[in-house]
Chains A and B, each alone.
Chain A
Amino acid sequence: MPTDVAETAQSVSKLKQACDAAYALYPNSCSHAVWHVIKQYLPNQAWMSANALVEHMRGQAHWKIVPAGQVGRLAREGVLVVGGKSEATNGHVIVVYPGPDTTAGGYSYTRDGKAETLRTRGSYAPAMSTSLGSWPGAKSRGDKTIWDPWANDAKFAQVTFWQLVQ
């Protein structure tokens, strides 16, 4: 196996393991789950709330903004990419999970007391996402996409993605 291929495989494995562990350790806190992944790359990273982490990444040279359309490829190369959107109360942060792009939606949720399936739409990179809330699209160990936590095109367009540059 060529060295660069082997290195990529190793990077992907590290990212996947970090995401899987974060999902298991912090199923109810997006900021803690993302923090856990970041710590595997930046051991001195302090925990921050989602809003604070988004603000922090904006001002750091080692966090480079990347378009949403590129994050899947980067994750498949083993690069850590964090996505986030601030809110007036609690924002949300995710990690791009390494794997092939897949359709958003396709899972059940409750609407007006009835179980419904969110129609599949678009193709996006998978995500590692956890949440205190009950929205199923925000709970993903690579089985839902980076669109699903927000489940809305307009809101998703406001999500910023940062690639860790080391």
Chain B
Amino acid sequence: MSAFAGWRACFAAASFLVAACAAQAHDFVNIPPALCVPVDRSVGLPAEMEPYRAAVRICAIAQQPPSVAAPVAAKVNLLSVFTDDYYKTLPADAAWRDFPLPMLVDATGRCLGRIPHLFPVDPPQELTISAGRWQRGTPHELRLKVQSPAVGGDSTLPSLHWNPRKGTYTPKNTTPSQDKTSCPQT
């Protein structure tokens, strides 16, 4: 199976399984981590995620749950290292790793941007991603809410907005030095 075919098959499976939960006002839907699926061995990953392949999951970002009869590949997907999965088989005193940030990709695996926080968990924080302002299957805004039991409590990260001209997601009103959402240089 080619890498591209691998991506298509993987996204169809992810879309079939992931039914984004209608959880917010308007057309925003939360991306449920429980329905993200492991990546197929044939799927090429960004080099920085390769060491964590066993813990990488793919989440289809879809407005409606695809029907059983006609599973549709999502136009936007999220590749993320699930840190709980990574540590599942490691000893309790295994140190934290500098995990790569989650990456938004299209159906061919092209990077569309990054989420500036690990998803779903960067202990003790948990990230909720809500996708909305849909146009032809593409969310034009991704809202990011961080829940934290630590000092300072919950917070909201700058939303990512779809830039159709560049074909990427970028935050508004963020200086380049603060921006962690750019795709890695290829």
Q: Do A and B bind each other?
A: yes
CB-based contact A151/B148 at 8 Å: yes
What is the total number of residues of chain B having a CB less than 8 Å from a CB of chain A? 20
Please give, as numbers and ranges, the residues of chain A lying within 8 Å of B95 by CB-CB distance: 103, 119-121
Least CB separation from B148: chain A residue: A152
CB-based contact A119/B94 at 8 Å: yes
What is the total number of residues of chain A having a CB less than 8 Å from a CB of chain B? 29
Contact with A along B144-161 (1 / 0, CB 8 A): 001011111101000000
- In the complex where A87-B152, A135-B149 touch, is A119 in contact with B122 (Cβ < 8 A)? no
Stretch in A2-10, A34-42, A64-72, A109-117 with 4+ CB within 8 Å of B: A109-117
Please give, as numbers and ranges, the residues of chain B lying within 8 Å of A117 by CB-CB distance: 92-93
Tell me if B134 is interfacial: C-beta within 8 Å of chain A.
Answer: no
Tell me if A62 is interfacial: C-beta within 8 Å of chain B.
Answer: no
- A117-B92, A150-B151 are known contacts; what are 17 more A-B pairs with Cβ within 8 Å? A85-B152, A87-B152, A87-B153, A89-B153, A92-B151, A106-B93, A111-B124, A111-B149, A118-B124, A121-B95, A122-B96, A135-B150, A151-B124, A151-B148, A152-B122, A152-B148, A155-B152
Please give, as numbers and ranges, the residues of chain B lying within 8 Å of A31 by CB-CB distance: none
Bound Cα distance A162, B87 (Å): 37
CB-based contact B92/A150 at 8 Å: no
Please give, as numbers and ranges, the residues of chain B lying within 8 Å of A92 by CB-CB distance: 151-152
> 16 interchain pairs (CB within 8 A)?
A85-B152, A87-B152, A92-B152, A109-B124, A111-B123, A116-B123, A117-B93, A118-B123, A135-B149, A135-B150, A150-B151, A151-B124, A151-B125, A152-B122, A154-B116, A154-B117
Please give, as numbers and ranges, the residues of chain B lying within 8 Å of A119 by CB-CB distance: 87, 94-96, 123
Count of A-B residue pairs with CB < 8 Å: 63
Bound Cα distance A119, B87 (Å): 10
Rank and list the top 8 A-B pairs by shortest CB-CB distance, nearest first.
Answer: A121-B96, A151-B150, A119-B96, A149-B151, A92-B151, A135-B150, A138-B151, A120-B95
Residues of A within 8 A of B (CB): 85, 87, 89, 92, 103, 105-106, 109-111, 116-122, 131, 133-135, 137-138, 149-152, 154-155
Name which of A119, A121, A122, A135 has the most chain B CB atoms within 10 A of its CB. A119
